[in-house]
Amino acid sequence: MKEVKQYQNEKVLVLGLAKSGFSAAKLLHRLGALVTVNDGKPFDENPAAQDLLEDGIRVITGSHPIELLDEDFSLMVKNPGIPYSNPLVRKAEQLHIPILTEVELAYLVAECAMIGITGTNGKTTTTTMIGLLLNQERESGKAYLAGNIGYPASEVAQKVTNLDDMVIELSSFQLMGIEKFKPHIAVITNIYEAHLDYHGTRENYVAAKWAIQENMQSEDFLIINWDSKELQDLSKVSKASIVPFSAKQILENGAYQKENELYFRNERIMKSDELGVPGIHNIENALAAIAAAKLKGVSNSAIRTALSHFNGVAHRTQFVTAINDRKFYNDSKATNSLATEMALSGFENSQVILLAGGLDRGNDFDELIPSLEGLKAVILFGETKEKMADAAKQAGIETILMTENVETAVPMAYELSQPGDNILLSPANASWDQYSSFEIRGDKFMQAVESLEA
């Protein structure tokens, strides 16, 4: 870990715990800061706060008292999930207190190069792929996964050396809180409309994603989806060296698919159907990962081996099991229509029973209708089930059923299925109307499949 002295004896407020806030508080304490942690969860229900108090870190829990900011803090480190509309955050802005996320701290202390991945969809899969590729035939050091993928960047940054790499998945929330953060390689998988309840406008959301390249220079590489006209236009103002990828067009200066084969800068890497995961979206993810790996000097044989054995990550078109020649797939991470469109692109619709529905954010599902056409059946649950039923009817689906939740949908889907069918959980909605996270929703799906198998 680099020696950083700028926080010694500085009063720092860490707002919000969870994994990232907890790790940030620990790191700042280690760097000699005078840390105060403020979290909304009551102390007796807050193991993380209890742990920090035992380390001698001041904790204030149960509410976010605005008078905290009377204490002349020089910095606020905000949990990414806390919106900028929070009164404490607004007050900090008025007082011109810098507001960072723990990704900035990670960058300041890490000794190794960083590869940052953002985008609306495909972040986790692409991050995981890059980590696998960089570790496949590595002789020294290691590629560590970090960030939004579940490993706090400020924790990972403390253990890496200059022989390692940090491969960081970055949400728009995290990228809003950076100042000096500069990855050597950055990937933007795609940009669509998302998280408007947090960002307010699409323009704000795009600006947050685009911040990943804010500090990059010509010696750094920005890998972007060239099938997005918006990203093409944005790339014109970036100082980074642009490396495009596309599943639809030949790009001699980047990664592309041609006649069912994947290339990087006119060098054949592997066949598209050798990938261990289905769907055009996974071809795009693989092309982005291949570009990053080739820029880091990974051999073609290592890339082929890693990607052909890659079976996906949890909750992202994850193969669960097969029961009596019916295959079950968990794509609970599909929290918007585009993600479900991408998942369906990897299957023959006539052999798919789709399980979908969830939190109503006020949107309709008209854009999903073409992808629903030809499905064998849909089983819907959650707040949006009526809206999704309307979309399914417009798509011409004859079998449309409604049920209480994911758990009850699984046996219904099995009863409808025949040998050769695929039962796909790809909700096209956030989970928060019924489940506290998409991970828990996916776990409930898999548990229901296990009960069916038993």
Q: Which CATH number does the domain housing residue 149 bear?
A: 3.40.1190.10
State the residue range of the domain holding 380: 318-453
CATH number at residue 340: 3.90.190.20
Would you say residue 313 lies in a domain?
A: no
The binding site comprises 119-125
Would you say residue 333 lies in a domain?
A: yes
Are residues 295 and 193 part of one domain? yes
Are residues 241 and 129 part of one domain? yes
Which residue in 332, 337, 373, 371 sits closest to 355, CA to CA?
A: 332
Are residues 114 and 94 part of one domain? no
Among 50, 68, 100, residue at a domain's last position: 100
Would you say residue 346 lies in a domain?
A: yes
The phi and psi torsions of 313 (rounded to 5 degrees) equal -120, 165
The binding site for ATP comprises 119-125
Structure-token pair, residue 382: 């959650």
Instruction: Calculate the average pLDDT of the chain.
Output: 94
Using the predicted structure, report yes or no on whether residue 342 has a pLDDT greater than 70.
Answer: yes
Q: What share of the chain is helix, strand, coil (3-state, %, to 5)?
A: 40, 20, 40
Structure-token pair, residue 345: 């692109």
Write down the H helix ranges in 157-228: 172-175, 196-199, 202-210
Are residues 209 and 147 part of one domain? yes
Are residues 199 and 300 part of one domain? yes
Distance CA 327, CA 220 (A): 43
Are residues 296 and 276 part of one domain? yes
Are residues 255 and 266 part of one domain? yes
Confidence band for 193, pLDDT divided at 50, 70 and 90: low
Confidence band for 202, pLDDT divided at 50, 70 and 90: confident
Distance CA 352, CA 375 (A): 6
Are residues 224 and 114 part of one domain? yes
Taking the complete model, does pTM exceed 0.75, yes or no?
A: yes
- The predicted-structure confidence for 400-430, as pLDDT tens digits, reads as follows 999 999 999 999 999 999 999 999 999 999 9
CATH number at residue 83: 3.40.50.720
Angle (CA) 229-232-238 rounded to 5° is: 150
166 CB-contact burial (10 Å; exposed 0-12 / middle 13-18 / buried 19+): buried
Give all strands (DSSP E) within 159-205, no chain letters: 165-169, 185-188
- The predicted-structure confidence for 54-109, as pLDDT tens digits, reads as follows 999 999 999 999 999 999 999 999 998 888 889 999 999 999 999 999 999 999 99
Using the predicted structure, report yes or no on whether residue 297 has a pLDDT greater than 90.
Answer: yes
Angle separating helix axes 18-30 and 47-54, nearest 10 degrees: 10
Would you say residue 246 lies in a domain?
A: yes
Cβ contacts of 242 within 8 Å, gap of 6 or more: 222, 224, 235
Domain count, the chain: 3
User: Cβ of 30: how many Cβ atoms within 10 Å?
Assistant: 15
- The predicted-structure confidence for 113-170, as pLDDT tens digits, reads as follows 999 999 988 999 999 999 999 999 999 999 999 998 889 999 999 999 999 999 999 9
Among 41, 68, 100, residue at a domain's last position: 100
Using the predicted structure, report yes or no on whether residue 194 has a pLDDT greater than 60.
Answer: no
Are residues 227 and 210 part of one domain? yes
Residue located via tokens 């480190």: 77
